[in-house]
Amino acid sequence: MLRTAFARQSRLALPARATMFQSRSYVDKFQERETASENKYIHEKEKEQLRALYRKLSDARAELQRLSKHIKEKEEDIKDKAGAKAGAELKDDTESK
């Protein structure tokens, strides 16, 4: 009777050990999925940040082009005024002679 009781306990212990190993692999798989999920979330956030930076860079480039165009226009206006002033001085000089 002692032998049969011991045999029954050992049979019950094996599935418990197998369950323990299965639960470890389940925990490992869960951790892997959790890590993958976290990595995906981080990757998505980094993509969003990069998109925002690209938008800001694009806006800054557009603003720079606008300012460059404005500067060129002002330089042309200054040259035109200087040319007109120089032309008027030349005209005055020719009239006085």
Q: What confidence score (pLDDT) does residue 25 get?
A: 83
d(CA 58, CA 52): 10
Angle, alpha carbons 38-42-46 (nearest 5°): 170
Q: What is the pLDDT of residues 25-62, one digit of tens each?
A: 888 999 999 999 999 999 999 999 999 999 999 999 99
Note the pLDDT tens digit of each residue in 77-86.
998 888 777 6
Q: Is the pTM of this model over 0.95?
A: no
| Amino acid identity, position 27 | V
Amino acid at 11: R
